[in-house]
A and B are shown apart, each in its own frame.
Chain A
Amino acid sequence: MTDILMELGQNAFIQQAIKTLGLPIPIPQKLRRSDGPWEDRPLADRDVAVFAAPGGALSAVVAQTLAGMGAQPTVFNTAAESADLAELGEAFARPPVFQSLQSIPQGFRTDALVFDGTGLEDPAGLRTVYDFFSPLVRGLKPCGRIVLLGRSPEALKTAEKAAAAQGLEGFTRSVAREVGKRGATANVVYVDAGAEKRVEAVVRFLLSPRSAYITGQPFHVSKKVQDADTIPWTRVLDKKVALVTGAARGIGEAIAQSLAAEGAHVVCLDRPADDAPASRVARSVDGSLLLVDITEQEAPKVIAERLLEDFGGVDLVVHNAGITRDKTLQNMKPELWDQAVDVNLGAVTRITERLLDGVMRDGGRLVCLSSVAGIAGNFGQTNYSSAKSGIVGYVRALSAKVSRRGIAVNAIAPGFIETRLTAAIPAVQREIGRRMSALGQGGLPRDVADLATFLVSPGAQALTGQVIRICGGMFIGA
């Protein structure tokens, strides 16, 4: 189902008419996305404004990240505090421009705002957040990015520091709603002590167009997962073997394509009944086809044997296959309960346990699809919600068990994504689903695919045991 408001928004005449007539129609901003494989310098020729609250620990890694991405930094600290930026600026011929928050040039515009809050000492320090963002947020360009960096609150020595750090999250969620109609996003990255270097991969992703539909979310960068050998920025999945379930269409198909574009060999798994679409996808990504019903008793064994036989194992697993069997609880037949719980959760755990036993290689990545509706609860979805929040528990518990093997485990919780499933929702509800978010529109399967690809990339060693919402800042659930 096409999004009519989005289509209208593309028409210059209608845009003008709405503006002139002052019609109260919130036309959502078309999001900027990236085609093709990951770029070496995704921010080439883009401007990024940077500020570090006193005592910030990440200036070196922020400078490195921006230089590597090809960005032109504008710095609101003093030159002395920004020595790293100055050195990188010279080497990459993007010398930082120094500005003062007291005298911001008129009409100042920027593609991104990056705030290093790792030095925040107490609630009074939060004032620096206001000082930086309040005057600059107006100049954030359409589809811009806000990224805040803070210390992980739970590990901080004083409760006051923790309060300030946690405050960044509330700020992020709120500012995400304010900039959403411009297509801009805001996210916060919490960094464990010793994990500073790992911030680069996460910030790269959040500043790039590949995080277009993720906003208002916290990310926790830790050292839990064993180091990967190298962190490439392009063709990040070369030589990797990936298993994607439910790959025949929709989000699964987009994930298969995105992983293949980064160089992975993708084993496309779907039900035998979906032979035709699944094999079409497998062909288009130059991958392999695996037709199995994941709820079958023998499925884990069949999958494990096939992966061992053909590829000697597997590196990346994306559990995408899912179904809904909606009914109110009192009218729900037991088989509807069983089907929803088994496909969405039971099969995921059975297959994972089998793969972790000698099939999945060290340094692997596991991603499970959860759901915002599942986590937040939804009318008529007791079965689905049970399964999808079960995924959250599974991911959290499992991540701790396998981090020593260098395996990261995360969940993705999509909000309203334009797929066959959402197209089947009645029109009024569908429209509400789309608009009830900061970005005011549905996401695309490729948005979820971009996130899944990031989470299985080597750089995602920074993240494990997390549930990343990709919902355009949906108003329900937290």
Chain B
Amino acid sequence: MTTQETTSGNGKGGRRAVVVGGMRTPFVRAFGELIEMDAIALGCAAVSGLLKKLDLPIREVESIVWGGVILPGMAPNVGREIAIDLGLPPTVEAMTVTRACASGLQAITLGAAAIERGEVDVVVAGGADSTSNAELKFPQRLIHVMAPVALSRKSTPADYLGALMQLSPTRDILPSRPEIAERSTGQVMGEAAEEMAQRNGITRVAQDELAVRSHHRAAAAVASKRFQNEVVAVDTPKGERVYNDTIIRANTSLAQMAKLRPVFSRNGTVTAGNSSALTDGAAAVVLMSEEKARALGYKPQAAFKSWAYVAIDPRDQLLLAPAFAMPKALKLAGTSLRDIDVIDMHEAFAAQVLSVVKMLGSDAFAKQRLDRRKAVGDVDPERLNIHGGSIALGHPFGATGARMVTTVANELALGDKSLALLGICAAGAQGAAAVMERVS
């Protein structure tokens, strides 16, 4: 299989981008407490919380690079809307990118690249998604038939009626049910995870164990106040204040997980429990050139040694691409899995994480598909998602990358770990990875 990839190393011109700090909103199950807030409002909450925490004068912000998947149709450049809504200087330029679930990481690495190229010194980068505010899509036929009538001033009620008569009430008028399905193959994400579980021999128990571990670790992180300076409370338009993540289940157990029914196939293994849930939320980090950070009196937390984006065939194993992206990023960073202290992988599905982990540990995969003599390495569960992952925390698509970078940067800044590896799978059979290092 061929992979298409774009990559970049860090500090080519001698400048280094550093993470100064990160922040996110609570991650809340879709159609829950944050239902009134769209991706822009959530982004504003995360960014304003972050600027406040860092006590960063707003005039220092030069640029926003934002990521999102379900973009608001009337204002898809979410980043710019955030700058305007927050009253940042009018000169803060912004763009919004999408690379499915890797959008947040994509925004951050674009910001880092801009700094390292010398374009800017201070960037706010992150992502947000509100599944609760996904726009329903009317059939294109309805638009094609009705738009000419609606847009013409001369249209009479008879014209409207005539146009309506051309439409089938069942097929052409009702909006389609939104689904997380691949456009090219029609395969729903969960079906892809189910297929991967079967083909890679990932058992139900192994998936449930990973899910339980994710919940327990996330709960422990909350209890120990590890997330205290990563999560900012959000005030909703209704006047309520949302403090906490709502998906984490501290007291879940294997026995409870085992009770859940498979969702995507009768004899399947993928359940609501071992998959990530639809989530609302936002996350952001502030990136600076190292000199600027020090000049402003910040202690840089972490920097990127490398990043890599790859794509594989969506008709094969849809969510396997991190198994290609992660070795690529390691190679670009000139390091190996052995030397990595923290591994943070986006948990779209336990089956997908475990499939990737299995391939990273496989000599056969390395030889046949990565052109390496030996396996990339075994992933030590003690180093993987040490504070839980998307299954427990939730997965607001565009925010996940920034959530991961924030948690990893904080972990590195604690001082006893020096290298981290990130891995994210994304729709379209794409994969993203990055190697981050502590900045001392």
Contact = CB atoms under 8 A, between A and B. Distances in A.
A93 B317 contact: yes
A41 interface: yes
A91 interface: yes
Contacts of B368: 67, 87-88, 91-92
B364 interface: yes
Nearest to B313: A40
Interface in B49-86: none
Nearest to A44: B315
A90 B202 CA distance: 12
Nearest to B362: A90
Closest 9 CB pairs of A and B: A91-B368, A93-B199, A90-B364, A87-B364, A91-B364, A91-B365, A93-B200, A91-B369, A90-B362
Contact of A41 (B199, B315, B369): B315
Interface string B319-342: 010000000000000000000000
Pick the most buried of B355, B362, B368, B369: most chain A CB atoms within 10 A of its CB: B368
Interface of A: 40-41, 44, 67, 70, 86-88, 90-95
B386 to A, nearest CB: 28
A92 B320 CA distance: 11
Contacts of A87: 364, 367-368
Contacts of B313: 40-41
Contacts of A90: 362, 364-365
Interface string B201-239: 100000000000000000000000000000000000000
Given A90-B362, A91-B368, A95-B201, A40 B1 contact: yes
Nearest to A86: B364
Given A40-B1, A86-B364, A93-B199, 5 more contacts: A44-B316, A87-B367, A88-B368, A92-B368, A93-B317
B196 interface: yes
Contact of A88 (B1, B200, B359, B364): B364
Interface string B338-374: 0000000000000000010001001011011100000
Nearest to A68: B1
A93 B364 contact: no
A95 B368 CA distance: 14
A67 B315 CA distance: 15
A88 B201 CA distance: 15
Contacts of B367: 87, 91
Nearest to A67: B368
Interface of B: 1, 196, 199-201, 313, 315-317, 320, 355, 359, 362, 364-365, 367-369
A86 B201 CA distance: 14
A93 to B, nearest CB: 4
A478 to B, nearest CB: 41
Contacts of A88: 364, 368
20 contacts: A40-B1, A41-B313, A44-B315, A44-B316, A67-B368, A87-B364, A87-B368, A88-B364, A90-B362, A90-B365, A91-B362, A91-B365, A91-B367, A92-B369, A93-B199, A93-B200, A93-B317, A94-B199, A95-B199, A95-B201
A88 B317 CA distance: 15
B201 to A, nearest CB: 7
A249 to B, nearest CB: 34
Nearest to A89: B364
A93 B355 contact: yes
A44 B368 CA distance: 18
A40 B315 CA distance: 10
Nearest to B2: A40
B364 A41 contact: no
Pick the most buried of A70, A88, A93: most chain B CB atoms within 10 A of its CB: A93
B331 to A, nearest CB: 18
Nearest to B201: A95
A67 B367 CA distance: 13
Contacts of A44: 315-316
Contacts of A70: 316
Contacts of A67: 368
A95 to B, nearest CB: 7
A327 B153 CA distance: 74
A237 B414 CA distance: 56
A312 to B, nearest CB: 29
B362 A41 contact: no
Pick the most buried of A86, A88, A90: most chain B CB atoms within 10 A of its CB: A90
A298 to B, nearest CB: 46
Contacts of B359: 91
Contacts of A41: 313, 315-316
A67 B316 CA distance: 12
B377 to A, nearest CB: 16
B182 to A, nearest CB: 15
Nearest to B366: A91
A91 B367 CA distance: 8
A13 B200 CA distance: 42
A208 B1 CA distance: 18
A193 B27 CA distance: 64
A268 to B, nearest CB: 31
Contacts of A94: 199
Contacts of B355: 93
B199 to A, nearest CB: 4
Nearest to B355: A93
A463 to B, nearest CB: 26
A267 to B, nearest CB: 30
Contacts of A91: 359, 362, 364-365, 367-369
A95 B355 CA distance: 13
B357 to A, nearest CB: 13
A34 to B, nearest CB: 14
A280 to B, nearest CB: 31
Contacts of B316: 41, 44, 70
Nearest to A95: B201
